[in-house]
Structure 1
Amino acid sequence: MTQSPASPLPSPEERRRLREAASLTQAQVAARVGVSRETVRAWENGRTTPRGQRREAYAHLLASLAEETAEETAEETAEKSAQQSAQESTEETEAQNATGGRDMTVGQGARERADTAVRTAVPAADPTEVEAPPPEARAERPLSPAQAFDALYAFCAPALVRQTYLLTGRRELARESVERAFELAWQRWPEVACDPDPAGWVRATAYDFALSPWHRFRPRYRHPEPPPSNASDRALLNVLLELTPPQRRALLLYDGVGLDLPETAAETEATTPATANRLLNARAAVAARLPDLSDPTELHYRLVELASTERLRAAKPAVVRDGSERRARFWTRAAIAFTVALIGTTALTLRTAPTQYEPPVPPGETVLGVPPRVAPGPLSEKEQKLRAKLRAQMQHGPERLAPQPE
């Protein structure tokens, strides 16, 4: 049995050019082929290549886009050539009229032939048959930063909270992780808005915060939360929480979110072989505990079902933006206060510090030839008699000397 050759595909740059020439977005191409938008972006970047039925569908779509682009280019070329011939005929007529070499009938005939050529190449459009441009082609007003942030939050936050719950098994931590990720995104909105995948940027930030090991020291997260009521959901969640954080994250991104292997490796900041090993080990661990989930398709459905059973709701976009601004103001004021305290401490040190060097006083040394002072000890017998004599004589004071005549 011979295998049919794969359909040829243009280069990644040509794929993107054909899509942009047809005014299609990556999401629209993904919907026609039956894949995710991230997969189409990987195809256009050249990181991955479609295979099988997806390759056939993608090649057929690109071929149709190429034909439409060629037809539009041919029409534009015919229109430009007709306009150019008409312009040349007009210029020729004007030159003949200026030189007087030919009569006016010749110039009039050339002008009529040019008008006929233009009418033949570009037929007049009936005003009743002109259709209004589609809503996508109409010029829309650009969104403000707040509106763009709210649109991204409304699109990503609900699903991202459920995904984070599968990573941590904690409802409150999942909501907090998503809110913190969007707060950071609002603080860096110029960078996030220009990112090719803003949703992936927020998802990676939320996953990093949710899997941080420092949460175990927080009092509110020391005790586990109540598990799901359903026994099958509880068993699946326990198996997920028994996996290592890298394996759990790779399994959720590949089988839960639906990313490709290179995209999963890029988001987890690991190599593709390492990510593949983590994914295989995670699947083996889940299949060993739950044999019904050995099929990746069934595992995907169960992960989606488990995430959907929990009633997890994210906060409003305005609340997240206000919280981000309050947090930014707090840290800004704290940085200013610390800087002022540091400047004050430095000024006080400069004010009280000595202006010249004063050498320290050296410790005392023993002078040679002088006996060291000894501590008083017991008196000898001679010293005791002397002391008694002095006390007896000096008790009433010395005798007073008086002058006497001779």
Structure 2
Amino acid sequence: MTPPTPGHALPPPGERRRLRVARALTAAQVAEQVGVSCATLRAWESGRLVPHGSEGEAYARLLTTLILQETAEGGRTAGARRKEPAPAAGPEPLTPAQAFDALYAFCAPALARQAYLLTGRRELARESVERAFQLAWQHWPEVARDRDPGSWVRAATHDCALSPWHRLRPRHRSPEPPPADPADRALLHALLRLPPVYRRTLVLYDGVGLDLPETAAETEASTPAAANRLTHARQALAARLPDLAGPAELHRRLRELASAERLHTARQTVVRTRSERRNVFWTRAAIAFTATVVGATTLMLRTAPTHYEAPLAPAQAVEGVPAPGVLGPLGVAGPLSREARALRDSLRKSATGGPGRLVPELR
């Protein structure tokens, strides 16, 4: 097949989709790279619409690249078959690190631009992308089996960017310098005045190009709720910026605003290394906490009593003791009662030396 160029006819609609699927690219990824919505890309692949304009030229260049890659791989495979009598072995599978690096290289730039639209902060956008990919590397078996790993990382990036805990960080309390273009400043200011969930729905639908069910699924809402949020977000933007009332113009301006900022993310190896260090730190912290709990439990078992000890009996009143207030403040007894005086007199009359001594008598 002759590679298409902007001046030549594109491959048939079915071939366009086959080329995308053969390179393991999702519709959202191709639409983001070309600069159109997923609905437009599906219309191109089904033949309902004909690519045109700058987006059509970008789509033609992408198809050219895919065809050249497929042709080169086919030529290498055919050459190997001519040299070896046995069937040529298939391509070696990518290691987890290689697959992660490929996903990062393809998705990180676009995700950084989306995070900037959500937050209006350059540093926070970079941090959100790196944190999302660190989570992806920690859960790589789950992410690798996902039908769309790019969507998994995009959802994690948006969650990190819109986390309410960022407002407690001192470095994020002061505003960052706004864009240089006055139109970009006005659009960013209008976006940031929207509620976070409305802002995310608008960016996903009009910025990324997801359809309404995909937008609803990624924002964890029903399709009617997502449509309602999108309608209110568009109305709020149109009230502040009347020239953005059309969806096509809004999509173009969002792309221009996101592309105006140079957001450089860290290298793949740096992200993977930080993720591994974070895993080591939390593993050691969990081990230390477990050891502390075990030590405290052991100490409690060693010092706890091994038999039952009855509690002390409750206090009882003692009879015959003068009531409080009988003795004066200096300890002097007050007047005696009649019984006390009789007892005193009888004690005084008794012998002071005790009873009489018994003497034996002789018989």
TM-score of the pair, normalised by structure 1: 0.63
Query: Is the 1:156–1:199 contact (alpha carbons within 8 Å) kept by the matching residues of 2?
Result: yes
Q: Which runs of 5+ in 1 are unaligned?
A: 1-18, 40-47, 60-132, 383-406
Question: What residue is the counterpart of 1:377 in the other structure?
Answer: 329
CA RMSD for the aligned pairs?
3.3
Distance, in Å, in 1 between the alignment partners of 2:302 and 2:28 is 67
How many residues in Structure 1 have an aligned counterpart in Structure 2?
Answer: 282
User: How do 1:208-219 residues align onto structure 2 when only pairs under 5 Å count?
Assistant: 208-219=159-170
Would you say 1:323 and 2:274 are equivalent positions?
Answer: yes
Distance, in Å, in 2 between the alignment partners of 1:273 and 1:23 is 33
Q: 1:224: Cα distance to partner?
A: 1.5
User: How do 1:3-402 residues align onto structure 2 when only pairs under 5 Å count?
Assistant: 24-26=19-21, 36=28, 57=47, 134-137=71-74, 138=77, 139-372=90-323, 374=325, 376-378=328-330, 379=332
Q: Deviation string for 1:137-188 (max 9, x for gaps)?
A: 5432211111110110000001111110110111111111110000010011
Q: 1:326: Cα distance to partner?
A: 0.3
Distance, in Å, in 2 between the alignment partners of 1:203 and 1:180 is 11
* Aligned-partner residue type, residue 21 of structure 2: Q
Distance, in Å, in 2 between the alignment partners of 1:271 and 1:381 is 91
Q: Deviation string for 1:55-112 (max 9, x for gaps)?
A: 96169xxxxxxxxxxxxxxxxxxxxxxxxxxxxxxxxxxxxxxxxxxxxxxxxxxxxx
- Quick one: structure 1 residues 53 and 191, their matched pair in 2 at CA, closer, same or farther if it must change by over 3 Å? closer
* Aligned-partner residue type, residue 202 of structure 2: L
Query: Is the 2:39–2:209 contact (alpha carbons within 8 Å) kept by the matching residues of 1?
Result: no
Distance, in Å, in 2 between the alignment partners of 1:214 and 1:269 is 20
Q: 1:368: Cα distance to partner?
A: 3.8
* Aligned-partner residue type, residue 246 of structure 1: V
Q: Deviation string for 1:294-343 (max 9, x for gaps)?
A: 11111111111111111111000000000000000000000000000110
Q: 1:30: Cα distance to partner?
A: 9.2
Query: Is the 2:39–2:210 contact (alpha carbons within 8 Å) kept by the matching residues of 1?
Result: no
- Quick one: structure 1 residues 317 and 340, their matched pair in 2 at CA, closer, same or farther if it must change by over 3 Å? same
Q: 1:136: Cα distance to partner?
A: 4.4
Whose relative contact order is higher, 1 or 2, with alpha carbons under 8 Å and at least 6 apart?
Answer: 2
Distance, in Å, in 2 between the alignment partners of 1:146 and 1:282 is 40
Query: Is the 1:175–1:314 contact (alpha carbons within 8 Å) kept by the matching residues of 2?
Result: yes
Q: Secondary structure at the match of 2:94?
A: coil
Q: Deviation string for 1:255-291 (max 9, x for gaps)?
A: 0000000000010010000000000100001111001
Q: 1:363: Cα distance to partner?
A: 3.8
Q: Secondary structure at the match of 2:133?
A: helix
- Quick one: structure 1 residues 296 and 356, their matched pair in 2 at CA, closer, same or farther if it must change by over 3 Å? same
Higher-Rg member (1/2): 1
Query: Is the 2:216–2:226 contact (alpha carbons within 8 Å) kept by the matching residues of 1?
Result: yes
Q: 1:37: Cα distance to partner?
A: 6.0
- Quick one: structure 1 residues 190 and 29, their matched pair in 2 at CA, closer, same or farther if it must change by over 3 Å? closer
- Quick one: structure 1 residues 318 and 333, their matched pair in 2 at CA, closer, same or farther if it must change by over 3 Å? same
Distance, in Å, in 2 between the alignment partners of 1:269 and 1:37 is 21
Query: Is the 1:27–1:36 contact (alpha carbons within 8 Å) kept by the matching residues of 2?
Result: no
- Quick one: structure 1 residues 276 and 381, their matched pair in 2 at CA, closer, same or farther if it must change by over 3 Å? closer
Q: 1:226: Cα distance to partner?
A: 1.4
- Quick one: structure 1 residues 372 and 361, their matched pair in 2 at CA, closer, same or farther if it must change by over 3 Å? farther
- Quick one: structure 1 residues 372 and 229, their matched pair in 2 at CA, closer, same or farther if it must change by over 3 Å? same
Distance, in Å, in 1 between the alignment partners of 2:95 and 2:166 is 35
Q: 1:24: Cα distance to partner?
A: 4.5
Q: 1:358: Cα distance to partner?
A: 1.5
Q: Which runs of 5+ in 2 are unaligned?
A: 1-13, 32-37, 50-69, 78-89, 336-363
- Quick one: structure 1 residues 355 and 58, their matched pair in 2 at CA, closer, same or farther if it must change by over 3 Å? farther
Q: Secondary structure at the match of 1:330?
A: helix
Q: 1:27: Cα distance to partner?
A: 7.4
Q: 1:25: Cα distance to partner?
A: 3.9
Question: What residue is the counterpart of 2:349 in the other structure?
Answer: none
* Aligned-partner residue type, residue 171 of structure 2: R
- Quick one: structure 1 residues 36 and 336, their matched pair in 2 at CA, closer, same or farther if it must change by over 3 Å? closer
Q: Deviation string for 1:214-266 (max 9, x for gaps)?
A: 11111111121111121111110010000001100000000000000000001
Q: Secondary structure at the match of 1:333?
A: helix
Distance, in Å, in 2 between the alignment partners of 1:226 and 1:55 is 42
Q: 1:376: Cα distance to partner?
A: 4.2
